[in-house]
Structure 1
Amino acid sequence: MNFTSTLPCSSSTSRTLYSHIGLRAFILLQLLLVQPCLHHPQPCHVLAQIGHTVRVGALLPAQRAARVQVQAALNRAAAGMTRDEDNFLPYNLSLELVTRQPAAADPESLFRCVCQGVVVQGVSAVLAFPQSREELLQVEFMASFLEIPFISVIEQPARFPPGTPNRFHLQMVKGVPESGLSNLLLTVLKRSGWREGTVVLCRGWEEARGLLELLNDQTDVSWGGSNSWHLRALLNLTQSAHDDTQIHDFLSRHFKHNTPAPASVLLFGADPQCAAAVLHSAQDLGLTLPMVHWVLGQPLSPDALHAIGLPLGLLAYGEVEQKPLDFYIRDALQLVSRAITKATMIRPDLALIQTMVNCDDKPSKQEEMSSGQYLSSFLPNTSFMGLTGPVEVDQNRSVVLTSQRFHIWSLRRDALGQPTWVTVGSWEGGICRWRTKGGRWRPGMPVVGSRVRVVTLVEHPFVFTRDVDEDSSCPAGQFCLDAGTNNTETLERYFREVGRGNASVLPKDAAKCCYGYCVDLLEKLSEDLGFEFDLYIVGDGKYGAWKGGRWTGLVGDLLNGLADMAVTSFSINSARSQVIDFTSPFFSTSLGILVRSKDTAAPIGAFMWPLHWSMWVGIFVALHITALFLTLYEWKSPFGMTPHGRNRMRVFSYSSALNLCYAILFGRTVSSKTPKCWTGRFLMNLWAIFCLLVLSSYTANLAAVMVGEKTFEEVTGIHDAKLHHPSRGFRFGTVRESSAEDYMKKSFPEMHEYMRRFNEPTTPDGVATLKTDPPHLDAFIMDKALLDYEVSIDADCKLATVGKPFAIEGYGVGLPQNSPLTSNMSEFISRYKSDGYMDLLHDKWYKMVPCGNRGFAVTETLQMGISHFSGLFVLLCVGVAGALLTLAGEHGFFRLVLPHIRRRQNFKYWLHTSQKIHRALNMTYEDVKKQRADREKRCVLFCEDLRAMVRVYWSLSNIIKAKEHTREVRDKVVEKFKSALSYTKISQDLNISRSTVQSIIWKWKEYSTTANLPRHGRALVRNVTKCPKITLEELRRTAAELGESVHGTTISRTLHKSGLHGRVARRKPLLKGGHKKSRLKFSISHMEDTATMWKRVLWSDETKIELFGPNAKRYVWHTPNTAHRPECTIPSVKYGGGASCYGAAFPQRGLGRL
């Protein structure tokens, strides 16, 4: 390629003009005189005429900076074409580039330079480099006037209008015009599903004014109907916000009142400080995903992205692999050369010999076609693959189309948690290509933004599955495939359909939702490492073992390249570690043994089991001995309940002592005689203490024994004889091809050989064999983490892990050998452990189950049924039969033995044994009847005396009455009051007190009479007031004795009207003088004690409660707020009897947490 020196254009001279005219005449003469060389394949005369050279003009910019840049690009283009030997001209023609520069940027200088410096050289085409809109219009006019092909190389398309149809002027755009950028933005918005948005303008947004106008104009045209995108608001920060604080306040005010559905926000502006302030404010205000998605409206260079670090999810775009200017020059020259080549094949004379060599001698339209017209017809039909990509000419706009490549970036977090830009799509040639999520990660590729395939295995609580929703989505959990096969082609086809959004075409049972402990961990790793994942369930349902010359299960999928990692309860063992890699363990566990309970019915005599038979014998022997001594003490004491002791009517005999001892032993609340001497009472209390301790111990063990036992197989551990020598049919197993089976196979081969027949495919299957009736297995060996979960979710609480744990192991994430993900994942798992994230996962999946807090004891009680009380029912029946026999014995004794004893004088004193037997022996029926009549007579006399006393009391109470004025006096007071006399005047006239006058007048106003009103129930109220503990029945009898028969309801109503209501009497401690003195003495003796001593004191108290008997509730009559008056309370003292005894103790600092 020949490259002429750059010369400045000057004014045209006559010498130059005449020389060109002579050259033209010489050429025409040659065409007329010289015969054409038709026998030669090349147009020799034409080639000879043009000197084997094709000339192309280059019009440099007038501005110095632009001219230097273009001149350097021209030099590089010429050097590149010479180096690469790029010559697309026919007949070995050479290309000569004629460059000229105008003296100034005005139109006259430009025209003079073109006509005098370029056209006269006989150029086939001209390259122009306009720097402004005006210069582009000047080149447009020159091309139309001269009819020579002009190609304008435009470096900044935003400053120029779109191309117009002009076959002589083609525009080669170095960048993407604003129309292309608007299409790019609309494509991004359309793919993201945004239907409306807001535009935020920062300083420098004026450069994108045309882009904004095109974007607003094209939205309704591009998206019709409901899918259109419209501008919701335009926020111009250049007018209302000038610093970071103002920007923050401005955005807060706007988005606070405009927060509808999620939308996009386009940010325009060339000021980086303003853009950074807007994005920081959006982050602080929470205007981020998922409600607001920020998009940078103007393209950025990849280097400028590093200055932007928030908010996450921010979208940006920019041109990558930008071609230098010399590439566009070389493609423009190649376009001209290829067009000349095509034209030469048809009319070499018109293609090579230029008819326009003088601007003043332009041919008329009636003449033959010019060379410029002929060449311009070939340019639109020329296309090729150039240095800038595919090059072609758009005839409708007269634009040379080149290829620019744009990348679309999204701000995300990298593996270290730092924000990083990830390429999510590309735009080239008007077509946007998004990086699909199905792009699977391969070793050697960065994991950020990639898609990793993960295999798992269903094992509760680490991985659960459930069916997808009707729309094949998973609102909770992750979508996973359960294809039931390890075939690579089948899985790839399924994943392709899922990636296309066609999950509904999968088989019915293939689409699942996976969730659980390991799925949560996988989501956390995915978020922190920045990758996405496809999840599927292993086809054969195995963890993996060497079988049939290959690895099965999870290990096999990792080795075959079907999966990139395995996440489940994947045990780390030596065999697997030799073929695959594991991360550091995220869960530590061991092997355990699971057994089921056996329900055993309690025998009839089970209620006797809490105490040994020797203890029962000792208790009853001690009872009778104690009763004997109680009787002896009472009869030998001068104060005992005996005829010779205090001459009592009732006698404490041996039968009374037995009744008392049995009542204390079994807590009965029947009426019994108590000893009166101090020795007997002391012995009685010792017997009560003895019975309390024995009864408490018996009650503590009674429930477990009577209910029967829920027993578990007592297996001490893996070395138990039941496992090593299962001669009695003890059956146990584990999961096939699991880590537990591998351990049993290596450590206990004989045991493994026996248990192989009982192994199950999965853990739930093994647990189910334990729970069948009858159970198929007696014990199940598996990872303790899995067994503990099965125990905790057992609704019947019939399962338990027994024995000592063995074979400590851990769960890790499985990866292929030498995987670059191993170290990163191990680092993050260690970080999760130290941060407490793994503890949160454990609490989430292990502490929400019904039997989770149950202690795994060897024996536990069941619910009690009637069968458990069969012994007590039998005892009751025996007691009834014994009572009948006793009744028959009493009749036999009364009719046969008793008369015989009466006839004899000996053995008639039986008071020490039984008072009833003594009376039967020494008294006849008539004596008993007379004694009863005397007792009734004494009672009647006592009642008559009481009635007489009551009558005297009522008569005396009616006699005593307050002094009262007569009715005549009261009537005079009212008459004088009606005469308008004052209270003082009335008091002076009638000689009565002023308060009495006031009272009389008030009663007259209130009741409209001066007569005394009837006073019902006053005596009744007085009785109740004097004796609040009197009962309703006593009041009714008293009224009947006075000759008034009143119903109890009437009495209650009368008392209620007076404000008296029956309430339970409050009890208060009975403190006598001795009590008060002892308390004062105790306080004085401990006044000098320190606070530390009191902290070591244990405060205690005890009480006994009688459920039935005379100490029940007592009612009193009282008005409100008088419950604690002495007459309304019952003094209470410590009760010596009682059926139930309770004690309590607490320290000085209180009860604490209960």
Structure 2
Amino acid sequence: MGSRLLRPRTRAQPTQPTAPGHNFGMEFVWALWLGLALAPGSAAGHPQPCGVLARLGGSVRLGALLPRAPTARARARAALARAALAPPLPHNLSLELVVAAPTARDPASLALGLCQALAAPGVAAVLAFPEAWPELLQLHFLATATETPVLSVLRREARAPLGAPSHFHLQLDWASPLETLLEVLASVLQAHAWEDVGLVLCRVRDPGGLVALWTDRAGQAPKLVLDLSRPDTGDARLQARLAPLGATAPVPLAVLLGCDAAQALRVLRDAPPGSRWLLGTPLAADTLPTEGLPPGLLALGEVARPPLEAAIHDAVELVARALGSAAQVHPERALLPASVNCHDLQPAGPESSGRLLAQFLAATSFQGRTGPVWVTGSSQVHVSRSFRVWSLRQDPRGAPAWATVGSWRDGRLELEPGGALRPPPPAGAQSRPKLRVVTLVEHPFVFARESDEEGQCPAGQLCLDAGTTDSAALDALFTALANGSLPRALRKCCYGYCIDLLERLAQDTPFDFELYIVGDGKYGALRDGRWTGLVGDLLAGRAHMAVTSFSINSARSQVVDFSSPFFSTSLGIMVRTRDTASRIGAFMWPLHWSMWLGVFAALHLTALFLTLYEWRSPYGLTPRGRNRGTVFSYSSALNLCYAILFGRTVSSKTPKCPTGRLLMNLWAIFCLLVLSSYTANLAAVMVGDKTFEELSGIHDPKLHHPSQGFRFGTVWESSAEAYIKKSFPEMYAHMRPHSAPTTPHGVAMLTSDPPKLNAFIMDKSLLDYEVSIDADCKLLTVGKPFAIEGYGIGLPQNSPLTSNLSEFISRYKSSGFIDLLHDRWYKTVPCGKRAIAATQTLQMGIYHFSGLFVLLCLGLGSALLSSLGEHVFYRLVLPRIRRGNRLQYWLHTSQRIHRALNTEPPEGQEEPESRGPEEQQQDTPVAERGWTRVRRTMVRERRVRFLLEPSAASAAPEAETSPTEGPAWPCSNGRPPAARPSGALPPGELEELEQSIAGARERLRLALVRRGELLAQLGDSACDRPPRLLQAHLGGARAGVTPQKPRQGLDATWAPSRRVPMPVTERPRPAPGNGTCTWGRGVEKALRMTEHQLGQREKSEEA
């Protein structure tokens, strides 16, 4: 055993520089205060703690006797250390803990540990954690003997009283103290009007003291006390000891105290039937069994118990606050207590430090972490407690279940509505009264369905559908219902909001009831001097109570009484939506017009940048990048962007440069996201919108001045009709012919095809329910609510039940039972089939797509206009551009316009119509010379027309003419050369061309001769005939090759005409199966075409 000092570390205050003037002022104030303190007259004032503080050393000591268990010891030590960090002590004093931890819990070890804690100088009080009743008793005696305040934090369940209280020993019950439990039990007994009770005790050390405490708390002694503390030899012995609690027992209720869950279950199972039981020991809700227990059993359970750390913190704060208060009066006695020597106890005087601190402890109160904290007269430290009272009842399926019937907190018991259990009536007393209740079917407050085959109701209440307002006939029907002779057709099962409320009222008030449906099906109105409906049945005495959606108004309140309203509502207007066909442009509604403009603006900008990137890139699909037969122009970019946007799978040119491809992919991502959003909303938009009658409320002009064909109504003899009749007579006159007998009839008139009503006025609570169960989602309420009203229970005037029912309804509202009823009957899915309809296939007709058909027709018309514009451009605009010297280069914009501008016929001749290859081959031998040959030459040279302008060194145009033809060849950029005078040829040009042709012919002949020799060495066969034939033709011809003008780029070589390829290097391949050699189709075709063209050239030269 050892003692230990725990001094919490205080935070050092940082020093701040002060001004010289400030230092001087502070020194003056200190000097003045010191002079006043040393003056002779100062001794007669308030006690000054200066000398006490100097002797204290800045801290006050508090002893602590920790528990023995390691876990509990560590937990208590940590809680004490945190609680001592900021105690409410004056003069910035800190709290120093002197901890003692005895290794054993015997009386000698416990006393030695306490004495060691008190031996330290300046220990003002001790905080102990007893673990058993003997330790608590020993601490009680030691505190009284040493006159040192000891505060015991109890962690066990209900302890026995210690006899006479001591001001030096305070107890803080972290568990449920016995005094508090007895106070809770007394409150429960008083609320349930139980007077004669018996006590059954288990493991109680002092039964006499417990009975005395019970008598003090309950106000009267128990009628019977059974002590079961002695061990039982068997179940038979226990049953014999519990026999006085049978059906003939003098007490109607037995309270079981001091028993754990297992003992309580054993006692309750062996107890004879006939009496009610109350478990006095708190049990957890999850440990409460349900099987084998008597119905109506009451049990207690503590809820929201504060943690042990919070109780320790409040105990330390209680001592610190008491020390602070005592130091203000007697600082030396409070802050410098004398050391206690347990071996030489001297009787302390009346002004000892312990007595002073005990007086201030008893007078200290504050708001702690466990709630309000103060010390009671029995030396108990009050801690806020909260208990629940449970009762074993039957659930709707008939199984036993625990239900909360009340809650207790800080001396106040609040019972739930229906939680009170009345004692059984004495012998000869009257049974529960039986009332006749009238109702009216109005969903969701009252439903009615057919009974089962036996005429019973498995769920709900059996109600009589009398269909009559005759009192004698109604009595006869109820008599037949009682003896079982009532026809099954008149038996109905009623259930709903009001039926649940009626059942709860019948259970709590209490009373029995028989239910029937009003004969005329009306709420009640004054007709010909007499009341009809529910009001008429109450006035005629046919019913004692009317329970349904019964509106409280001034006219009804003059003849019948109403309970306090259990449901608040107002009047509302319900209309029907009408499906309208989608408009022509409905397919464009998923996107706003600004979004459409943005999409197409982005499309054209993207196409523009694609063209720019492609033409500025060295790898683009342009003549500058690569000499291709196709060019990526702006029109190609537009075609590509439109194809990506609308998902067309057509052939289109794609950019070749990396930048253009990246931009194209980004445009594809943009189109994907836009089209996804468009298609997600397209189906809902194409169906069309819903329109309805827009009414702002009861003051809408459509209701006060209805147009032809506008009809609205309400329910006959309802509160809505009475309100409109009284407030708006003209509107009532127009509405009366269109009203309905019941709310379902009015809704049916509104939803019929064609609709018989355009608007229906009724209680908003009823309309909201009809809207929520509408499967087609065609109903909705519009306008502002008006005429606030409430539903109440109707009773005859001066009925004794009015005040009682109103009181219970108020309790139901405060406890939340009314809210539970509302959630049960109103929380349905609006438009019940909406979720199912969303998953079904949407069938759309041709009127949904009328806009698309119109768009297609407009597209056809636009195509015709485009064709007309194309002809106008070709016939009128294109010749005008040709005649000018500007706007001749259109390759970056449109390849076809560029070709049309740069391949024109000679002057005075028109461009012939294009013909197929077969027609051109047939017409070639007999075709006229002139423009036809020029056009054929232009077709052959069309692949090189896309070259850029030649460099400055070779920019001088060269004329290419035939010896017999006069038209000029276009230049490399597609422009025609400058006009020259007819017949003015450069001198020597023809001779140079003939020499070049002769040299080329000689080189070709030598190459073919060498090739023939090589083939002859490999073997002469039929396969060698094509080369020799070609050689012979080329060698024997006088003019077989047409020279071409030198060109820029990759094709700047002399070669035969591109239209007649000559694959002279193609090697023969053996024919399959016969070992002979055959030439490819390309070689044979080339040979034939070569023979033909050479012949044509010979004829031309001869001519």
**TM norm structure 2:** 0.42
**TM norm structure 1:** 0.41
